[in-house]
Structure 1
């Protein structure tokens, strides 16, 4: 079940600034060589992440879920001078491809890669973040939200990916996968948090924008 019809997605891509040549190669290599390539942010969402970052000009970004590095490269495009992006992934087998493209993009000094469990790494980061992007195991979203909240500056933003989970979130609960149920719990948690403002966007597989008041 796809949230955005293919014809609409193609129209959106047509009128979105094209991928850079490097991002195109990363996109292609991911689809050729890596399991579950649909996890890649891709053209339109990648441009969205880049534009959000360029609007905010963040000094510090945290990404939970590096995958092959596409979204990290997009987010890093808006970093302030001397800005830094920390990105975490549990899958060490993907580190070679993500590291290679991050280096080729000229971002080695701006992106710090961490390999391991985010729940263990986040508490060790002595940073105040302007922007957090959550795109990891769906059951962990609620815990990641709690872990990053005190590290997020007032007025800072969290972007949470896949919150529509292939459209399953609107199915009867009995028909939802465990991941879809986790996404429903997460968005309900964010909306119920009086410290936050929320906006759920039907971009790709659903992105929730959360602002810390």
Structure 2
């Protein structure tokens, strides 16, 4: 990467520029604000707002009918994805944490989108082989240690020209850092390995974008 390119990237990700971009987004509705506050208070990870906006725009532009979310947490992104789908479309979501599932079901019941959401309870590694649908878009935001194992299964479930959308590929900046805090070393190495596989996958045309915590964007050939 040339010095000029590095400068361009640094300018893009400066905090004041992120704040500016966030200021352009529409105000959250009451339920989404409640979920954001709950997640922040309880230290539950949810999708970065700029990454979410990108995902929602992509979902609308591709007129997605079948979308799979791997790792729904409390349903924050699930509800908002459902909100931009056509009446006939569905979002299917996998979550293995019983606590997260209970919270997600509570929030989904308030959302008015319950009829567009299908929940699979359990480990994605066990559920993915049982799915028969071919998806327009798969959103991967599961446990990081599972990313590598999930990759090929996800690609196999995509339609031709379907999109694999992956969160956390910069992992708080650790994947690009020379020194990584000890508690993040294992997960950082796992994501670095995933990134190499993702970028060289023979069935994907892939890139990693400096949006949010690093978004992987792969289109099935």
Asked whether the two chains share a fold, i.e. TM above 0.5, the reply is yes
The answer (yes or no) to whether the contact 2:155–2:203 under 8 Å persists in 1 is: no
With normalisation by structure 1, the TM-score equals 0.90
Q: What is the RMSD of the two structures over their aligned residues, measured on CA atoms?
A: 1.9
What residue is the counterpart of 2:129 in the other structure? 123
Q: Deviations over 1:167-193 (max 9, x none)?
A: 111123776611111111111101211
Q: Secondary structure at the match of 1:182?
A: helix
1:169 aligns with 2:175: yes
Query: Among residues 123, 134, 139, which one is paired with 1:133 in the alignment?
Result: 139
What residue is the counterpart of 2:6 in the other structure? none
1:199 aligns with 2:207: yes
Describe how 1:145-184 pairs up with structure 2 within 5 A: 145-172=151-178, 177-184=185-192
Identify unmatched segments of 5+ residues in structure 1.
none
- Who wins on radius of gyration, i.e. which is larger? 2
Q: Deviations over 1:88-145 (max 9, x none)?
A: 1111111222112222211111111122110001111121111000001111111111
The answer (yes or no) to whether the contact 1:47–1:74 under 8 Å persists in 2 is: no
What residue is the counterpart of 1:15 in the other structure? 24
Residues in 2 aligned to 1:87 and 1:199: alpha-carbon distance in whole angstroms: 24
The answer (yes or no) to whether the contact 1:62–1:85 under 8 Å persists in 2 is: yes
What residue is the counterpart of 2:197 in the other structure? 189
Note closer, same or farther for the CA distance 1:147–1:173 as it changes in structure 2 (3 Å cut).
Answer: farther
Q: How many residues align?
A: 208
